[in-house]
Chains A and B, each alone.
Chain A
Amino acid sequence: QSALTQPRSVSGSPGQSVTISCTGTSSDVGGYYYVSWYQQHPGKAPKLMIYDVTERPSGVPDRFSGSKSGNTASLTISGLQAEDEADYHCCSYAGTYSYVFGTGTKVTVL
């Protein structure tokens, strides 16, 4: 199973919006409504930010939102803040007891 494709890096100024894409196939992203996103600060464990494409766990700011179209899922961060600078990883269900993560994207706040 190949990793989902994410851009290596994206950047934006404080207050701007950035969108991270996560491209898979019809066997993973395109086939299920089960995409999640994880934020990882340097030296820290990943943190769940979005699940089931669009759902936010309790405590995650509403400036984080998710969407999906075809084989590509997206994470949008609106009103970018300094603390949003981190790595972001997508993950998709890929069939019975099978999952695939993305290649990871570094978000830089300029």
Chain B
Amino acid sequence: EVQLVQSGAEVKKPGESLKISCKGSGYNFRSYWIAWVRQMPGEGLEWMGFIYPDDSDTKYSPSFQGQVTISADKSISTAYLQWSNLKASDTAIYYCARLLTTSGVFDYWGQGSLVSVSS
């Protein structure tokens, strides 16, 4: 069974750094792109970027380029989303999702990681 299990909720202050994780199992983690998707409170979904774990090739949405860093460690089947300088506007639920095809089919999703940023 394909599963993506994300790290738990985080409460941080503005200016702090954070790295959340997404561990895949039940399939060949190295061979599928992993995407990160943001959902701000009461809003829709926004594609942030994705990574191919086998060679760490990474693509970013222009809206998130330079704002976050996506990485992966194929040896432990885990992808990461990282911030170096959190803002209150980063408060959201962040989902990882397996990208079945590069035409945009997100077939399996993690349970979501809530990130709250407040002074």
Contacts and interface: CB of A to CB of B under 8 A. Distances in A.
Interface of A: 1, 3, 32, 34, 36, 38, 45-48, 51-52, 57, 89, 91-93, 97-104
B107 A57 contact: yes
Residue among B63, B97, B106 facing the most chain A CB atoms (10 A cut-off): B106
Interface in B13-38: 37
Chain B interface residue count: which class? Answer: 20 to 34
Interface of B: 37, 43-47, 50, 59, 61-63, 95, 97, 100, 102-112
19 contacts: A34-B103, A36-B106, A38-B45, A45-B109, A46-B97, A46-B106, A46-B109, A47-B109, A48-B108, A51-B100, A52-B105, A91-B45, A91-B106, A92-B104, A93-B103, A98-B61, A100-B47, A101-B46, A103-B44
Contact of B44 (A1, A34, A101): A101
A1 B62 contact: yes
